[in-house]
Chain A
């Protein structure tokens, strides 16, 4: 049986970005109240006030968004291209993890052309030149001139 239009609109009311965010803030603030309750009175004063504020404000945000939803107001899509956004964020996280695991220079040599290629810059010569220039510049400026040490990679140290 097909769900009725009313049912699906009721379901989508709770999948609105603002509603989900308000619920996330509410749950997060309540969660942080537990460690706050174990603190002495004065050190817990400001955190408790802020968490209390966040709880009240998230409820207000939730109610306001649900009121908008009940009038049938459509919410603008938050992301223009969700796959690209998640892809970009995933690649950045992967880059950070790979720096931790295999070291800064090898990760950068792989990630720089990879991210640029995945997101639309497809010139192999351009990628090669850009990677060489950026790596050399980083090595000379940070490695040599500023004596900055970068992660050498957990995998190699073991």
Chain B
């Protein structure tokens, strides 16, 4: 089962792939360090540029950015109390007080070591769990694949929390966008309005860039955040080997937080920020001196940074094996795989083992690289990045978005379409509609429709074909559990609260 994993290693250590990984990690740290930019946005801007690249080079860049950005978010969190990414909020609790007392360098070194440990643990989880899971999913027929798609959509909507109606609207919108273009079986034009450009459907990258890159750019221009930090002048940096002995008491936190991060990553809908908060709370609860937390406890930084990096590769376990991403970034990475003709799901492991297993190695190497690139550079040089003018940064990103989307088919129609999706994405973002269900709807919508119609053809139009075997029934039961579970939990909590009051 793991032979393919070993065999894919020589490919990964080719110098182009390693160079892509190094560039990705550095770019990710830069992106994460800029408040307002996130890994999600960076990867969605990057995806169109990877068309002409070898799949492993493209995936290496993405894996590097994801790993790097998760750590990079800690830099402004520690130095300015502004989380560079949403997942770094919990890092501000103790990181900033440490920087205030002149130990910003130490806090960043704890962050980089913890991020690397979380990333390595996550990569190992991906390597160990994904291959056996993919073997099970290879047994699936069209009816089961249809139910997997339905399960994926439902799980991301209902486990995401927040407003379920809005989650469902997002998913319906995503699925609706997936049906635009020629019908896959009969070839009827659907919602093309005589536009030849729409016949092939809407390219996922156009939607990704519109939804995930345009709203943050407008936010960047909307609020001219001042990022001149005083703390960055007094980092108190020491070589990393000298600070490591000070971290030796953190091993339990690293272990616990890695497990929490991996688990949260696997759960569809939950993301790095939830992992970081949960891990911070658990570490604080287990601490001998919880009263010191929030005043500059290095272990607090370790807890949140380990967990927010431990959910990176693990989010790809359901994404690669079932086509269900655990986080928004994983959803975009699925888009990245699709543009290279790699359909996530069980067949990916059979048809492209060198790429899928190579991608797993890249996550592992990316996490290890963090210590070398982040550790030696994460001090004064990255702190200076915070002073880059945001309006200029916004303008450059707008240009990159246009180049990326235009280069897909070499036509301005796609750019206008992207702007339309950007406007929709901005409104959705402001009104707190979740965005991952839109992407997942677009990815799974077409997939679900094709398999549903295939199953119906096999069953000669009889809908009972969807419920005819045990696997289908298990998937239906899981879908129902995902839908009703949060409602039952809510009711139980309500009942418990009212009992408590009485």
Query: Which of A's residues lie within 8 Å of B, judged by CB?
Result: 17-18, 21, 25, 32, 35, 39-40, 42-43, 45-47, 50-51, 53-54, 57-58, 60-61, 64, 78-81, 84-85, 87-89, 92-93, 95-96, 99-100, 108, 111-113, 115-121, 126-127, 130, 134, 138, 142, 146, 148-151
B412: which A residues are within 8 A, CB to CB?
Answer: 96, 99-100, 151
Shortest Cβ gap from A109 to chain B (Å)? 11
B398 touches A95 (CB 8 A): yes
Q: Residue B1 at the A interface, CB < 8 A?
A: no
Whether, in the assembled complex, B392 has its beta carbon less than 8 Å from a beta carbon of chain A, the answer is yes
Which 3 A-B residue pairs are closest in the complex by CB-CB distance?
A119-B391, A43-B183, A88-B221
A88–B214 alpha-carbon span in the complex (Å): 10
B166 within 8 A of A: yes
17 sample A-B contacts, Cβ–Cβ < 8 Å, listed by A number: A32-B176, A39-B183, A39-B190, A40-B188, A47-B191, A50-B173, A61-B165, A79-B430, A80-B223, A84-B222, A88-B221, A111-B398, A112-B396, A115-B395, A119-B394, A120-B224, A149-B410
List residues of chain A with CB within 8 A of the CB of B395.
111-113, 115-116
| Pairwise interchain contact B398-A92, C-beta atoms closer than 8 A | yes
Q: Please tell me if the beta carbons of A54 and B169 are within 8 angstroms of each other in the complex.
A: yes
Q: Which residues of B contact A51 (CB under 8 A)?
A: 176
- Provide the main secondary structure of the chain A interface: helix
Q: Which one, B52, B190, B399, B407, contacts A43 given CB within 8 A?
A: B190
Q: Can you add 4 more A-B contacts, CB < 8 Å, to A92-B218, A112-B395?
A: A47-B179, A78-B431, A87-B221, A115-B221
**Cα separation A18 to B428 with both chains bound (whole Å):** 10
Compute how far the CA of A100 lies from the CA of B449 in the bound complex, rounded to whole angstroms.
36
Size of the chain B interface, CB-CB below 8 angstroms: 54
Q: From A127, which residue of chain B is reached at the shortest CB distance? A: B392
Binary contact track B138-172/A, C-beta < 8 Å → 1, others 0: 00000000000000000000000000011011001
Assembled-state Cα–Cα distance A96/B445 (Å): 30
Check A50 against B172 for contact (C-beta < 8 Å): yes
Name B's interface SS: helix
Given known pairs A42-B453, A100-B412, the reply for A35 and B188 (CB within 8 Å) is: no
From A35, A84, A96, A100, B191 is in contact (CB under 8 Å) with A35
Q: Once the chains bind, are A61 and B166 in contact (CB under 8 Å)?
A: yes
Query: How near does chain A come to B372, taking the closest CB pair, in angstroms?
Result: 26
Rounded to whole Å, the gap between the CB of A115 and the closest CB of chain B is 4
A97 to B224, CA, bound (A): 26
Shortest CB distance A15–B (Å): 14
Q: Is B334 an interface residue (CB 8 A)?
A: no
| Of B392, B419, B422, B445, the contact of A116 (CB 8 Å cutoff) | B392
- The docked-state distance in angstroms from the alpha carbon of A99 to that of B176 is 30
Q: Which residues of A contact B217 (CB under 8 A)?
A: 88, 92
Q: Is the CB of B172 within 8 A of A57?
A: yes
Chain B residues near A54 (CB-CB < 8 A): 169, 172-173, 176
Within the complex, the shortest CB–CB distance from B96 to chain A, in Å, comes to 24
**A53/B389 in contact, CB under 8 A:** no
B52, B166, B183, B218: the one contacting A89 at CB < 8 Å is B218
Contact in complex: A88, B403 (CB < 8 Å): no
| Chain B neighbourhood of A60, CB < 8 A | 165
Closest Cβ neighbor of A96 among chain B residues: B415
Please report the C-alpha to C-alpha distance between residue A79 and residue B165 in the assembled complex, in whole angstroms: 22
With most chain B CB atoms within 10 A of its CB, the pick from A57, A61, A126, A149 is A57
Is the CB of B481 closer than 8 A to any CB of chain A? no
| Bound form: Cα–Cα A99–B426 in Å | 23
A79 and chain B: residue at smallest CB distance = B430
Q: Which residues of A contact B185 (CB under 8 A)?
A: 42-43
Q: At the interface, yes or no: B427 with Cβ under 8 Å from chain A?
A: yes
A43 to B65, CA, bound (A): 39
Query: Which residues on A sit within 8 Å (CB–CB) of B165?
Result: 57, 60-61, 64
B250 at the interface (CB under 8 A from A): no
Contact B389 A148 (CB under 8 A): no
Give complex CA distance A21, B190 in Å. 25
B373 at the interface (CB under 8 A from A): no
Residues of chain A within 8 A (CB-CB) of B179 are 46-47, 50
Asked if residues B218 and A43 are in contact (CB atoms below 8 Å), the reply is no
Q: Are B186 and A40 in contact (CB under 8 A)?
A: yes
Whether B175 contacts A92 by the Cβ 8 Å rule is no
Contact A17 B431, CB 8 Å, known A47-B191, A57-B165: yes
Q: Does B385 contact A (CB under 8 A)?
A: no
Q: Complex formed: what's the CA distance from A32 to B173 in Å?
A: 12
Measured between beta carbons, the chain A residues less than 8 angstroms from B427 are 21
Give the docked Cα–Cα distance between A95 and B165 (Å): 36
Residues on B with C-beta less than 8 A from A57 are 165, 168-169, 172
Please report the C-alpha to C-alpha distance between residue A142 and residue B410 in the assembled complex, in whole angstroms: 13
**Any A CB within 8 A of the CB of B9:** no
List B residues 385-444 near A (Cβ within 8 Å). 389-392, 394-396, 398-399, 402-403, 406-407, 410, 412, 415-416, 419, 422-423, 426-427, 430-431
